[in-house]
Structure 1
């Protein structure tokens, strides 16, 4: 490597550190300012809603939403404090520092997500039913798996990560949108575990970043990817179908039109993942119950949740995955059709996907 390339690489690394410090300082300051603000809003919501909600036995929606927002902020703040404490405690220990830091981050992330799930259960009536039951318990060390999950509804990605960490005993290596770095605790903790933010850093294609993450999987690891590329909404479904027709893909558009509850999977990231981890089993996850929460209006009208969140998963052994990209593309679309059929059968009454 030339001297110029070395200097350029150091400059890029230094600029990345500066940007990270500035971002985390800003988001932490905003978090500290939001905690008392939301606490005051909670008190005001309680005072204003009490007469109407007590008289009509209403759902106390403003109180529930602001209460959960306050819990989220406090959990985020406690996560930052705990992460700082772990960093200080590990400073003198130079042996296996990276492995210990990763293990600490996964353990702390599991505790924080478990707290948020319990808050969701108490505040919003969240109930989750998973079929078939998960095969592992905490500490279970399965071989590496690729998890391709439906993406629909508020908080479904966090709920999936919590389930993998707490119930399946798997360490999720996650592909996330870069906007989630605005959450200060998530920014710190995800930065300490294998991850991939999209769009990736300059000079790297998305599929390269995802493939690099998948190639590093080991026993007990699970790569989590959402092949739809975004949260399902009826409007986004219509836009994606129209885009497929504009791009000259009428057959794929027609098949997408027959799927009413999911977006057609995008091949780029999924195929890169399958190619980079050819020995990993593939798990598909379908769920329904959170998909009714796809806009501000539906969040307001559907909370607290009246029905359980239902999830169904199935595993395809690595040797049954098609060997080439063309066959894998068709196979992935067929699996996603199965996801759509399952949702059509198990969707909660009153859910709309038109």
Structure 2
């Protein structure tokens, strides 16, 4: 069940409650970290110490973003110019770099590129369409966009993330779009994505997950059944042949392409995290082995090669997802489904 966003007044309260709460959580976490180290004879991987330390570290990176955002408001109560935006972009890029560098040291998480990371013509904005599978894949892709491609990530996110005070504040100021719940949303979901696309600058990369939710085996099967129930039997048969992706939703992609016909389109395939869909899976996988981690491939399509007609977009998107599915099948780790 999806978590809805908190009301705005509660978001404001959370900004002031969060830092002292982080202090209390840290004090409570220190004995757990020490216990995890002492349990080394029973757990040579020291999972407890690693997981708790990384969670606390992430929390303080988030608190740091929140505090710096508040300071920027005090320092520039009126100015909302280019410098204001640039400072917030630097906050996000710096936090992502710190978190993934720390994750590499603590749990051996690493990202491997299958070929060159190419996000299109740097003089034009890019639209990044990615498979959605595994914990923190959206953060990892935002880090790749910022650190590897030297672009500014603009992200379409679930509204439930507005419960995170630091992320919510900085991403709101950077014009991220938080997708509202389906109930009562009407066409606002598509309109908000289109508005975000219209505001893209040349260095921006708009990251969207057309599947709408993380892949799991159950959701893949449910997606096929949903297409059959809607009478889309031909597409359901095609989706049934996919093993590693969910049927992509066209409307958001169509709205973006109509809003920015000048943008290059990048399709991202990745594998390595898809079966970490429960706390137990993550626990057993930590730390990652030398052959594990996130493997990423990007394929760039120049703006002129991407269709804009709705029917053609739907066909084009399904073709790209067929390619993503085949790539994941050929690059998945040993031991995944079907091995």
Same fold (TM over 0.5): yes
Picking from 75, 83, 89, the partner of 1:89 is: 75
Picking from 209, 229, 236, the partner of 1:246 is: 229
Q: How many residues align?
A: 329
CA contact 2:69–2:170 (8 Å) conserved in 1? yes
CA contact 2:118–2:300 (8 Å) conserved in 1? no
3-state SS of 2:173 partner: coil
Kindly state the Cα deviation for residue 141 of structure 1 after the two structures are TM-superposed.
4.1
* Corresponding residue for residue 169 of structure 1: 150
Change in 2 beyond 3 A, CA 1:204/1:258? closer
- Matching of residues 147-296 of structure 1 within 5 Å: 147-199=128-180, 204-296=187-279
* Corresponding residue for residue 350 of structure 1: 335
Change in 2 beyond 3 A, CA 1:320/1:126? same
Cα distance in 1, alignment partners of residues 312 and 295 from structure 2 = 30
1:244-263, Cα deviation, whole Å (9 max, x unpaired): 11111111111111111111
CA contact 2:124–2:262 (8 Å) conserved in 1? no
Cα distance in 2, alignment partners of residues 125 and 301 from structure 1 = 14
Matched, 1:318 2:299: no
Cα distance in 2, alignment partners of residues 218 and 353 from structure 1 = 43
3-state SS of 2:81 partner: helix
1:238-287, Cα deviation, whole Å (9 max, x unpaired): 22111111111111111111111111101111111111111111100011
* Corresponding residue for residue 26 of structure 1: 14
Unaligned 5+ segments in structure 1 are: 1-17
CA contact 2:118–2:299 (8 Å) conserved in 1? no
Change in 2 beyond 3 A, CA 1:349/1:39? farther
Unaligned 5+ segments in structure 2 are: 1-5
Supply the RMSD in Å over aligned alpha carbons. Answer: 2.3
30-39 or 169-178: bigger deviation: 30-39
3-state SS of 1:83 partner: helix
Cα distance in 1, alignment partners of residues 207 and 241 from structure 2 = 26
1:288-335, Cα deviation, whole Å (9 max, x unpaired): 112121112211211212213110001011111124111110110000
Cα distance in 2, alignment partners of residues 27 and 58 from structure 1 = 38
> Which runs of structure 1 show a deviation greater than 3 angstroms over 4 or more consecutive aligned residues?
49-52, 200-204
Change in 2 beyond 3 A, CA 1:43/1:346? same
Kindly state the Cα deviation for residue 132 of structure 1 after the two structures are TM-superposed.
2.4
CA contact 1:31–1:73 (8 Å) conserved in 2? no
Cα distance in 2, alignment partners of residues 175 and 191 from structure 1 = 11
Cα distance in 2, alignment partners of residues 40 and 285 from structure 1 = 39
Q: Using structure 1 for the length normalisation, give the TM-score.
A: 0.86
CA contact 1:141–1:169 (8 Å) conserved in 2? no
Change in 2 beyond 3 A, CA 1:254/1:135? closer
Give the number of the structure whose alpha-carbon radius of gyration is greater: 1
Kindly state the Cα deviation for residue 167 of structure 1 after the two structures are TM-superposed.
2.1
CA contact 2:244–2:325 (8 Å) conserved in 1? yes
Answer 1 or 2: higher relative contact order, Cα 8 Å, separation at least 6. Answer: 2
Change in 2 beyond 3 A, CA 1:152/1:32? farther
CA contact 1:260–1:353 (8 Å) conserved in 2? no
3-state SS of 1:108 partner: helix
CA contact 1:289–1:308 (8 Å) conserved in 2? yes
CA contact 1:105–1:193 (8 Å) conserved in 2? yes
